[in-house]
Amino acid sequence: MSLPRPRRIALISVHTSPLAQPGTGDAGGLNVYVWQTAQRLARRGVKVEIFTRATSSGDAPAVGAADGITVRHVVAGPFEGLDKRDLPAQLCAFTAGVMRAEAMQRPGYYDLIHSHYWLSGQVGWLARERWGVPLVHTAHTLAAVKNASLAEGDSAEPRLRVIGEQQVIAEADRLVANTDTEAGELTGMYGADPGRIDVVTPGADLDCYTPGSRAAARAELGLDPDATLVTFVGRIQPLKAPDVLIRAAAPLIERFREAGRTPVRLLIVGGPSGSGLEKPTALIDLAAGLGISDAVTFLPPQPSTRLAQVYRASDLVAVPSYSESFGLVAVEAQACGVPVLAARVGGLGVAVADGRSGMLVDGHQIADWTTALDKMLSDPEQLAVLGRGARDHAAQFSWEHTTDALLASYARAMDSFADTASLRVAVGPQLLRATRRWRRRRSRTGL
């Protein structure tokens, strides 16, 4: 028997729009994920409506972003001056906007809800109950994981978020985890039912991120054609640890300079985000304090086609994050044939093949990162081998594969939800709710 397939789905992304430029503010890998999967779902004949918070009075209520994709801007709170830490107070207003949009359609307009991040999960939870359709949830990041490995100078996620995540994880019909590691975190830290978890690995746009001429890329970006270039791409905040890279590279920059070797330069691409907004010039000040300002170039966030040139210009891309549910930057860089040096955290152990497409570092000790950088940069032949391995490794990650797996998860959610609806009729809603509460307690306690 074939499983059901959604005709129209509601994607909920409260705190950041898929149309925003990744790399600054609250825009990052989640934006890329939502937009890339939405496009591919639409190409498969699934109508996609994305609900996100309006951040400008100029945001149209509904935008036809691409064939089969509508982005709905929901007014919830002031347009400017709010970040995601302020948004729990706006969830009621946002949910009301989502409910109004659905109420203008015929009954049964949406077949499924897919929420992204816990704020969206709270909205999706209520919409699920109101519309009578299944909820699929992707956390993207988890507070308990972040709090277990806080970066120096970063602030812990509040208990409010942990509780909110726990509620959504307990209520969602299916949970989508990026890796087996994240699936283990959902069960171990949040008591999720492993039978409701689908592991769906994110991908990269393999048509955009391809190998190319390093010389041409550097000429386009105005970078030194002869230097050894180590690149960081991402939001500038303690969680992403760009400061670890700068501190680790500083002694190498001086050593290579004194020895008359090919100079090492750093390229930092991104904008302040999260707690990094409190000190927007922190990395510039750090480079100056270490005496390497002349060896560090800063660029703002780049659109995808130009970002591909950033990767191609690089000899090595570093991803020193304290926590990553997957690590899209690592896969994008490798797809361009560039090896990656990354922290052995979260999904980076999947995104990077240690010893074949790059190198993983345990922990964030500066000396360990300096040693790893030195090892990779001092052996150009091995770096070239890793570059070829990087391209091969990245080839297995595509958004088409991600979309295939998402559609399978959606089908399971719809199938199980239909069974639950039949059970609701047979046993009555009160008994069904009691049964579900018992199952959630059982999954949390392991009894």
**Which residue ranges make up the annotated binding site for UDP-N-acetyl-alpha-D-glucosamine?**
21-22, 29, 235, 240, 302, 324, 332
Q: Which residues pair with 268 in a beta bridge?
A: 232, 298
Check if the beta carbon of residue 299 is closer than 8 Å to that of residue 311.
no
Q: Residue positions in the annotated binding site?
A: 15, 21-22, 26-31, 84, 117, 141, 161, 235, 240, 302, 311-312, 314, 324, 332
- Binding residue ranges for 1D-myo-inositol 3-phosphate: 15, 26-31, 84, 117, 141, 161
Tokens 């064939």 — which residue? 67
Which helix (H) or strand (E) segment holds residue 256: the answer is: helix 242-258
Distance, CA of 368 to CA of 35 (rounded, Å):
36
Question: DSSP secondary-structure letter at 204?
Answer: B
Length of the chain (residues): 447
User: With 0-12 CB in 10 A as exposed, 13-18 as middle and 19+ as buried, what is 2?
Assistant: exposed
Tell me how far the alpha carbon of residue 443 is from its chain's centroid.
27
Q: Given the DSSP bridges, would you call strands 62-66 and 69-74 parallel, antiparallel or unpaired?
A: antiparallel
DSSP one-letter code for 18? T
DSSP letter string, 44-80: TT-EEEEEEE--STT--SEEEEETTEEEEEE--S-SS
Alpha-carbon torsion, ordered 224, 230, 231, 236, to 10 deg: -110
**End-to-end Cα distance, the chain:** 33
Cβ atoms of 340 and 333 within 8 Å: the answer is yes
Q: Are 117 and 140 a contacting pair, CB within 8 Å?
A: yes
Sorted by sequence, the CB contacts under 8 Å of residue 303 that are 6+ apart come out as: 21
Phi, psi of 125 (to 5 degrees): -60, -45
